[in-house]
Chain A
Amino acid sequence: MISSRLPRPNAPLPGFARFRGARRGVSGKLIVGLLAVLSLAAVVHILVVLTIPQNATHSAYSNAARFGPDRAFNLLPDVVPGAEPLPGLDPAMKHALCRYQLDDGPVLFNASIPVPFWSMGLFNTRGDTVYSLNNRTAGSETLSMLVLTTEQLSILRENPPENLDELIVIETEDTEGFALLRAYVPHPSEAKKVGKALQAASCGLLK
Chain B
Amino acid sequence: MTAPLKQFGEADWYETDLPPILRPQRPRPLRALAIVALVLFSGSLIGISSAYFIIERERPLMAVRIGPWETYPYAGTAEADPYSVAIYTRGAKIPLASGEGVDLVARTDSAGDTLLPMCRYRIHGQTPTARLWTLTATNGSGRLVETMPGRSNLTSRQLLREPDGEFEVIASTTPQPGNWLPLAASPFSAEGLRFNLRLYDAPVSTGSALKGVAMPVIDRIDCL
Main secondary structure of the interface of A (DSSP, over half): mixed
Q: Are B146 and A25 closer than 8 Å at their CB atoms? A: no
The interface on chain A, measured as residues whose beta carbon lies within 8 A of the other chain's beta carbons, has a size of: 66
Q: Are B144 and A184 closer than 8 Å at their CB atoms? A: no
The interface on chain B, measured as residues whose beta carbon lies within 8 A of the other chain's beta carbons, has a size of: 64
Q: Bits for B126-166, please: 1 = Cβ < 8 Å to A, else 0.
A: 00000110101000001111110001110101000000000
B64 interface hit (Cβ, 8 Å): no
B98 interface hit (Cβ, 8 Å): yes
Chain A residues lying within 8 Å of B134, measured Cβ to Cβ, are 90, 92-93
User: Given A22-B20, A52-B90, A121-B99 in contact, is the A129-B55 Cβ separation under 8 Å?
Assistant: no
Determine, out of A75-83, A105-113, A151-159, A198-206, the stretch whose residues face the partner at the interface: A75-83
Q: Are B146 and A119 closer than 8 Å at their CB atoms? A: no
User: Given A53-B89, A132-B100 in contact, is the A60-B94 Cβ separation under 8 Å?
Assistant: yes
Q: State the Cβ distance, A2 to closest chain B Cβ, in Å.
A: 10
Chain B residues lying within 8 Å of A58, measured Cβ to Cβ, are 92
Give the complex CA separation of A120 and B100 in angstroms.
Answer: 7
Determine, out of B79-87, B108-116, B167-175, B213-221, the stretch whose residues face the partner at the interface: B79-87
Q: State the Cβ distance, A61 to closest chain B Cβ, in Å.
A: 9
Q: Are B8 and A3 closer than 8 Å at their CB atoms? A: yes
* Residue from A3, A49, A59, A119 having most chain B Cβ neighbours under 10 A: A49
A69 interface hit (Cβ, 8 Å): no
- Kindly report which residue of chain B lies nearest to residue A53, judged by CB atoms: B89
A165 interface hit (Cβ, 8 Å): no
Q: State the Cβ distance, B18 to closest chain A Cβ, in Å.
A: 10
- Kindly report which residue of chain B lies nearest to residue A35, judged by CB atoms: B39
Give the complex CA separation of A39 and B61 in angstroms.
Answer: 22
- Kindly report which residue of chain A lies nearest to residue B81, judged by CB atoms: A49
User: Given A121-B99, A182-B100 in contact, is the A127-B20 Cβ separation under 8 Å?
Assistant: no
Instruction: Report how many A-B pairs have Cβ atoms within 8 Å.
Output: 193
Chain B residues lying within 8 Å of A33, measured Cβ to Cβ, are 35, 38-39
Q: Which of B161-194 contact A (CB under 8 A)?
A: none
Q: Are A80 and B35 closer than 8 Å at their CB atoms? A: no
A175 interface hit (Cβ, 8 Å): no
Chain B residues lying within 8 Å of A42, measured Cβ to Cβ, are 47
- Kindly report which residue of chain A lies nearest to residue B143, judged by CB atoms: A84
A189 interface hit (Cβ, 8 Å): no
Q: A33-B38, A119-B101 are in contact. List 13 more A-B contacts (CB 8 A).
A: A14-B12, A39-B43, A40-B47, A52-B55, A52-B85, A86-B94, A92-B153, A116-B131, A121-B96, A127-B93, A132-B100, A133-B100, A137-B201
Chain B residues with a Cβ under 8 A of chain A: 7-8, 11-12, 15, 20-21, 35, 38-40, 42-48, 50-52, 54-55, 76-78, 80, 82-83, 85-86, 88-101, 103, 131-132, 134, 136, 142-147, 151-153, 155, 157, 198, 200-201
Among all A-B residue pairs, the 8 with the closest Cβ atoms: A44-B47, A40-B43, A132-B97, A132-B99, A41-B46, A119-B100, A121-B97, A52-B86
